């Protein structure tokens, strides 16, 4: 069956033992791939709620294993990794996530009589849209602006976690960190031999041939 993806046959992990990646890159990627799936900072309900939110913000194809977005965020918070700055009205990252998830559940209960996790897709989308617009301001937020939490914490962390994973890199044709090999052909519509080839004008076979040798 032909590969319908934009970068057919491309797997960024084939670069692991090539000059494209150095030892430090391999260590970082290996650790990212080995992130535990069981929660260490969040509890099981919180982790499942993040997964439900991520499913609405970055829906994933069903023909491959999902990127563990919630586990990557849990790992970051478990290790105490932070941005190094805070937006006005926002607590530190661990507190912001805990409070934001509790407030989202409280808003879901108030509107629909069930936690966010148990709502239908359209109901979840509507709540997230209200949060994005700053229209959620129940007492559970504790003064934390729901719009700031959505834009600067929840959505940002989810998107960053998704695109930090090699599976997403393969889908967008990204080669991973440019260390030590780097990139040489920087002009428009040019690619180095170790970069992914994009399928163009329906010519999947040509891209497949090139991507078998990417490394």
Q: SS3 of 157, please?
A: helix
Q: Residue range 61-86: average pLDDT?
A: 95
- Is residue 122 in some structural domain? yes
- State residue 153 phi and psi, 5-degree precision: -125, -70
pLDDT band at 191 (very low <50, low <70, confident <90, very high): confident
Per-residue pLDDT band at 4 (split at 50, 70, 90)? low
Task: Say if 92 falls within a structural domain.
Answer: yes
Give domain status of residue 154, yes or no: yes
Q: What range defines the domain where residue 163 resides?
A: 21-174
Residue 29 in any domain: the answer is yes
Instruction: Please list the alpha-helical segments (H only) found in the chain.
Output: 23-33, 44-57, 69-78, 93-112, 121-132, 146-149, 155-163, 166-172, 204-211
Q: How many domains does the chain have?
A: 1
The angle subtended at Cα 142 by Cα 162 and Cα 82, nearest 5°, is 35
Contact 39, 47 (CB under 8 A): yes
Domain assignment present for residue 11? The answer is no
Residue 43 belongs to some domain of the structure? yes
Q: Is there a domain that residue 214 lies in?
A: no
Is residue 203 in a domain?
no
pTM above 0.85, yes or no: yes
pLDDT of the residue at 127: 98
User: Cα(138)–Cα(143) distance, rounded to whole angstroms?
Assistant: 9
């Amino acid at each position: 069956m032909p590969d319908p993806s934009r970068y057919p046959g491309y797997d960024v992990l084939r670069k692991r033992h090539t000059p494209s990646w150095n030892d430090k890159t391999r260590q970082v990627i290996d650790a990212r791939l080995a992130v535990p799936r069981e929660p260490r900072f969040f509890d099981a309900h919180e982790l499942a709620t993040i997964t439900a939110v991520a499913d609405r913000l970055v829906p994933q194809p069903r023909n491959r294993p999902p990127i563990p977005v919630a586990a990557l965020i849990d790992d970051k918070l478990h290790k105490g990794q932070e941005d190094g700055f805070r937006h006005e009205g926002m607590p530190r990252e661990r507190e912001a996530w805990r409070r934001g998830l509790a407030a989202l559940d409280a808003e879901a209960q108030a509107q629909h009589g069930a936690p966010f996790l148990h709502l239908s897709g359209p109901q979840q989308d509507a709540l997230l849209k209200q949060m994005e617009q700053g229209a959620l301001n129940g007492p559970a937020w504790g003064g934390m602006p729901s719009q700031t939490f959505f834009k600067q914490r929840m959505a940002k962390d989810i998107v960053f976690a998704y695109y930090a994973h090699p599976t997403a890199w393969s889908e967008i044709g990204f080669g991973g960190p440019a260390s030590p090999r780097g990139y040489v052909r920087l002009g428009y519509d040019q690619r180095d031999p170790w970069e992914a080839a994009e399928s163009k004008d329906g010519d999947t076979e040509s891209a497949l041939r090139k991507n078998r040798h990417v490394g």
